[in-house]
Structure formats: C-alpha cells, structure tokens
Structure 1
Amino acid sequence: MKKIFGLILSAAVLGTVLTACGGSGAGVSSSGAAGASEPASVSGSAVNSSVYGTTLADIQAKGELVIGLDDTFAPMGFRDESGNLVGFDIDLATAVCEELGVKATFQPIDWDAKEMELSSGNIDCIWNGMSITPEREEAMSLSQAYLNNKIVIMTKEGVTVSAKEDLANYNIGIQAGSAALEAVTNDAVYASIQDKITEYPTYDEVILDVQAGRLDCMIIDEVYGGYKNAKLGSIFAVSEVDFGDDLYAIGFRKGDAELTQAVNDAINALIESGKAAEISEAWFGADIVVKG
C-alpha cells in the first residue's frame, strides 16, 4: 500500500508533535501468537513516546514492541466485525514478538502521518504492508522484504484498461501517501492522467466511491484489492497492465539497525520453523512470504 516517507522534524516541531501524540488513544496488544481467528487483545496502557536509538535490549527492558499501523488495511491489519484487530501482519508481528520475548502492542495511526509518529518515538516501528521505496530506504532502517505485492488497476463494470494510457479517459481513485501513488507519479503516464486522480485518506473510501460510480477505477495494492474484491463477490475487474511489483518491509528509525536485524532474525526463524508459511496460508491460501 503503500506509502511515502520523508520529513525530518526540527526540535521545535518535534516538541509540538510529542505533546500532540501524548494524548493519543491506547494501543492494542497481544502477548500470545494470535492465529487468523484469534484477534489481538486491547491494551489499556499508553504508548511510550520518548524512545530513541532503540535496541533489542531497550525493547526487552520495557517488555513491548509498539507497532504503528493503519487499522483499515485488510488483510494486513484491520478490524473484524466485532472491532477486534486482526490480519496477516498482526499474526506475523505477534509471532515475531514471541521470538523476541516481548509483547506486541499495536498502535493505530494516521497513515499519512506515519513518519511523524515514528520520528517522535510514539511507535517503535511501522508494520502494515509498507512498501520498500528508495525514499524509505534513505529515510529509515528497513527490514528485509517479507512479502511481495503488486500495484494493480481495478475497474468497475463496463470499464476496460488495456494500456496505462487508457486511464486518461477515466476518474481514478488512490490512497494518499501510498506506494501506489508513488508508483504512478514515477511512471511516464502520470503527466497525462494526473488531473484524473483523486486522493483519499483510505482505500476503503476509494472502494466505496468506485462501487457508487463516482470513480471508474482505482490503482491499489494487489494484496488489499484482491482481498476486498473477494469479500464483495469479485465485482471489480483487474487490468492486465499494472504498475509493477511492490515488496513489503517493516520501517524503523534510521539509528535502529540492531533492532531491525533482530526482527529480521526472528522472521527468518519463523520461516525456518514453518510458522510464517502457516500464517500466510491462513490469510492468502498460499505461502507468499519472501525468504530472507
């Protein structure tokens, strides 16, 4: 899904951000490896927003890894019918935290403000189907790729996109701050379609407007779009043309290389044990985890 990084805050702005973030709601935590049918529990503790240069020892000392996520991004991390936080990333992160000997605490954030949440120390990492981009590699310490995705074009009935240039004839929806938006803006076709694009805070809103006919198509993560389309009875068509592969990684602060490697090691241990494949099968019907 997703998503564009990059601002380094000044000390004055950072102080304001910390004040604002201090009033955010409690996170969601899980101390066990929740399966696809076992949602994470709600934590009543506030998130520590003063963690910098975090190491694995720091995380183990406080007993939790605070994970920032967009809780509308199915099937990676989202709310079920009962309001419980579930998803592939929820289950994988919970299993990783078990490997690290800490609790997974999930903190819903405004995805468009994810860089600010991380820089301020409100969260320890961003883990929610976040795409690897050159900008993020420069701005953050990224984990190894753990899942592959693709940026696809999905259309309502009666709309056909046989080539990217056809998009100029249609109204297009896309999530603000997403990797899909970045892929489109970096493509040669962007100059001819930019006036046709409307950005939305979430992909759920994009999907609703395509359903309602206010949009003709959307450019979206295949993992998310395919999951939602199946739930809706496959009402959208998927174009044969796309905007390329999209590898997912976990984002940490630039100075957190040691913590990043510890999470990589935990993911690889889950791959070796077969646990990662088990989680993937539960959510996607196949093992699509990328081997480190």
Structure 2
Amino acid sequence: MKKTTIILAAMLLVASSLFAAGAKEQAGDNSLQKALDKGKLVVGLDDSFPPMGFRNEANEIVGFDVDLAKEVCSRLGIEAVFQPIDWNAKEQELNTGNIDCIWNGFTITEDRLANMTFTSPYVSNAQVVVVKGDSPYTTLASLAGKKLGYQAGSSAAEAVDGSPEFKKSLKQIVEFKENLTGLMDLEIGGIDALVIDLLVANDNINRSGKDFKILSETLSSEDYGIGFRKGEQKLADGVWAELVAMDKDGTLAKIATQWFGADITVVGK
C-alpha cells in the first residue's frame, strides 16, 4: 500500500510539473501581441505555386492562400506582407525571424509538427503523379526504370520517400527548385513524371491547357496547415480563430469558390 501511495504521489508530482511548465510557456507566449504591435504578419511563400500563391501577369503575388492571409490580417487589424522564400530553406527562414509563418499549401507532417506550431488543417490534398497526356504510363508500377521529378524540400519528396518500393523502382530522381520548372521539364521530356500536389496539378492543367494527365493512384493524402515558430501557439490560435469566423460567415467558401469553383476547405467540417 505504501509503495502504491509513493508511486501515485510521484505521478502527481510529475503531472503538476508538466502542467506548470506548460502554463509558464503559454504565459510567456506573446506572439499574437507581438504581431499586433508590429502591425503586420510576414507570410513566407513560394511565389510560383499556383493557385495557392504565385505572380500574375502584372508581377503581383496572388492566390488562394494569399487571399486568405489578407482577409485574416484585415480582421486582425494588421497588414499581410508576402515574402517569397526558397522552399528548401523554409524552416530556416521561419526560425531566423525573416518570416512569421509559412502559409502556402504547407503540408502538415510529423517531422514538421515536431519542429513548429501548426494550425488545424484548412484544406485536404494529395500527392499525385503527372505525366504527358500521350505517355504510356497509367500506374505507379509502369514508371519502373523511368525518371521522376519533384520540388526539393517538398511534401512530394516525403511522399516518394514514404513509398520505398516505388522509389527503388525508379531509374533517377530529379529535384527542382519550383514545381513550374518541373512541369516545363516534363513537357519537353526531360523527365517522365512529376510528383506534385493534386490542387496545384489540377490548376496548372486547367489554366495552361497543356496535354498532361494525372495518374489515378496517389502517393499520399495530406492536409494543409499554417506553420509558425515552435511555441507560438497564441499567434496560431489567433489566425485560426479568424479562419473559423470566416467559415461561419461564408467568406471562406466564397474565396475558395473563386479559386477552385467549389468550397474545398475543411474548416468546421
């Protein structure tokens, strides 16, 4: 009985310590107030990632995520500032303070969750394989011995790594700095296939009218979230609260429909 009492007391002591540490960390989190005082939120993005964030013909940064960030910041009473970054160095850009968040079709993964603070998912997506319309490839297995491309440091790379047998079957993997470069290389036959986000693939095919097709097999399903520096929970919560409000008043659905023709968001669903 004594032994049980001692164990229970130890467990309570550990729990109390963890609760106190968590409360202390939350109390020391002034990330939201810091953004409000600064009057702006610096959003890191790949500015060649349509329809989430890209440059239009007037060289303006536009896109679905861009419109969401602008609306959220407007409701918070601050300015959304968009900072193009090297996607392969996105975590470094965030941790050094060059940007305040990563908001650009940013997939939530276990590794990223361990190193930064995320909002809940706001869009569901998948990693798919795009090939030329007249190519003979119809399945992942048919790409054995072929050249595959993806954006360096992207969730596409993680999806391929997460399919070791498929990866092993390939002749070569080519990394690109941007998805658009990969699509251009696919068009001229430099690679046989490109792994890319489903939403991005659909948008590119629809807008460009180029002869690409998407294989029915997907490599992985995933969720998009907004990434902040580790521990900046209050800023993440503040942004998420505005997205929830936008869902309730129909603004989120309106923005999604403008870009995708339908409400593809998962907030509140």
Same topology, TM > 0.5: yes
1:124 paired residue among 79, 95, 100: 100
Q: Could you tell me how far apart the structure 1 residues matched to 2:107 and 2:262 are?
A: 20
Cα pair 2:127 2:219 within 8 Å, conserved = yes
TM-superposition CA deviations, 1:212-264 (whole Å, max 9, x none): 11111111101111111112214101111111212101100112011111111
Cα pair 2:120 2:240 within 8 Å, conserved = yes
Report what 1:200 is aligned to. 176
1:92 paired residue among 55, 60, 68: 68
- Calculate the aligned-residue CA RMSD, in Å: 1.5
Cα pair 2:129 2:194 within 8 Å, conserved = yes
2:42 paired residue among 66, 71, 94: 66
Structure 2 residue 51 is the aligned partner of structure 1 residue 75: yes
Structure 2 residue 85 is the aligned partner of structure 1 residue 109: yes
Report what 1:20 is aligned to. none
Q: What is the SS of the residue equivalent to 2:58?
A: coil
Residues 69 and 232 (structure 1), Cα distance of their counterparts in 2 relative to 1, 3 Å cut: same
Cα pair 2:141 2:166 within 8 Å, conserved = no
TM-superposition CA deviations, 1:107-152 (whole Å, max 9, x none): 1111111111100011110100000110011111011101111111
1:253 paired residue among 229, 250, 268: 229
Cα pair 1:165 1:189 within 8 Å, conserved = no
Report what 1:27 is aligned to. none
Q: Could you tell me how far apart the structure 2 residues matched to 1:247 and 1:177 are?
A: 17
Q: What is the SS of the residue equivalent to 1:82?
A: coil
Q: Could you tell me how far apart the structure 2 residues matched to 1:95 and 1:82 are?
A: 21
Structure 2 residue 265 is the aligned partner of structure 1 residue 279: no
Give the length in aligned residue pairs.
Answer: 241
Structure 2 residue 206 is the aligned partner of structure 1 residue 230: yes
More helix by share: 2
Counterpart code for 2:195: I
Cα pair 2:145 2:171 within 8 Å, conserved = no
Counterpart code for 1:244: S
Q: Could you tell me how far apart the structure 1 residues matched to 2:141 and 2:109 are?
A: 24
Cα pair 1:150 1:221 within 8 Å, conserved = yes
Q: TM-score, normalised by structure 2?
A: 0.86
What are the ranges of 5 or more consecutive residues in structure 1 without an aligned counterpart? 1-51
Report what 1:219 is aligned to. 195
Identity, % of aligned positions: 40
Q: TM-score, normalised by structure 1?
A: 0.79
Report what 2:25 is aligned to. none
Counterpart code for 1:290: V
What are the ranges of 5 or more consecutive residues in structure 2 without an aligned counterpart? 1-27
Computing the radius of gyration from Cα coordinates, the structure with the larger value is 2
